[in-house]
Structure formats: structure tokens, C-alpha cells
Chains A and B, each alone.
Chain A
């Protein structure tokens, strides 16, 4: 049981916009920055969004992040087949003094 709650799956057709939610608590999302990682099949995770809504260099602007209270969301617009991957939210938890990851959301592009 993850400290952060994500839907196990999401799907969309090419060109659509999909959102993935991440729910936490006051000790994690409520008080710290949210990060998002993308993990393509058989590869190591890759940083996708940092500090709630910032994109590292090289990440397309189709990816965006937001945070409100103790929840966060990742939005992917103009869905492409190469976006099919697992997506994880992550945040520092003040109560645990450590990093917590969401359970992950498997995105399928239909």
C-alpha cells in the first residue's frame, strides 16, 4: 500500500489529453514539491516533472504538472504512442524523513 495513491491504469487515443492523479497527505504533497517519473518498458525511470510543474531540458511541453493541496496531477496532451509507459509521482515525506513513490500508473495508448 503506497503512501501516495495513483490510479493503476489510464488510457487514451493518439492526440488526446490524459491526466494522472496522485493523492497524498499534509506530510508529503501538502508540504513538499511533487516530482513525476516516466518509466518506459525495460528501462530505468526518467525525470519528467520537477518541483510540481517544471520540465527538465528535453522534456516536451506536452507534459505538464500541477499541485493543489494534498493532490497533484500529470497531464499529457497530444498523446503519442511513445508515451506508453509507467508514470510515478514522488515526494519527500516529512513524517517518514524519506522519499515516497506512488504505486504507478500504466498508460496505454489505444
Chain B
């Protein structure tokens, strides 16, 4: 069955960088777009970024544009989120989510989610 396992979270100081990974299994990774969604402690869901099946298209929330980069290595069935210039407000559980189609379209169909990895930005 479909498995998404995030890793790479931890405690980091403001201004530093961190890279998250999402290992996918149980499906043909190259057939699906993928996204990152985060949730600050005790807060709601907040979409971060999405990428098409081949990584050729990327979409970002305004709050992370220019600081975060989403990418994927289809040979390793892995999705990444490179986070630079981290801020205290980036503290959250970061989920990777499988999108229903290969391309990112005007829909919000996330059919599988990982369990999340916690990123804490603090001095």
C-alpha cells in the first residue's frame, strides 16, 4: 500500500537551513505530483509547495517563496523540501502529500499523507 515517510525535521536556529525528505513507496512515484503542507503547533493547515510528476513545475505559497525549494528525485522515489533562511514562524509539522494527478491543477485532491516531521525554529 501507499506509504509516505517524512524525515529531516529537528531544531534549527533562525536564519539557518534544513532539508526535509519524503520517501514514497507502494505506488508509481513518477505518476503523481507531490505537495508539502505544514501545521504550526495548535494551528490549522497551511499549504507550502507543490511540484509536478517530473519536477518541471513548482508552486509556492507566498510565505515561503524565495526561501523554500521543492524538488524530487524520481530515481529514489523521494520528495524534498529545502528550507533556507528559516524563521520562527516556520515552526510546524511538515506533511508530504500525494496529489491525485501527474500535474498540479486547480484542485486540492491530496489522497495520501505522511505522518509528518516536526521542524522547530528557535534560538
Most chain B beta-carbon neighbours within 10 Å: one of A44, A56, A97: A44
Q: Cα distance A37–B44 when bound, in Å?
A: 11
> What size tier do the contact residues of chain B reach?
20 to 34
Q: How many residues of A contact B (CB 8 A)?
A: 29
Chain A residues, Cβ within 8 Å of B61: 96, 98-99
CB within 8 A of B45: which of A45, A50, A56? A45
Are the C-beta atoms of A100 and B44 separated by less than 8 Å? Answer: no
Are the C-beta atoms of B108 and A44 separated by less than 8 Å? Answer: no
A63 contacts partner chain B, Cβ-Cβ < 8 Å: no
Q: Cα distance A43–B8 when bound, in Å?
A: 19
Closest 9 interchain pairs by CB? A99-B47, A44-B113, A104-B44, A92-B106, A90-B108, A35-B108, A101-B45, A32-B106, A103-B44
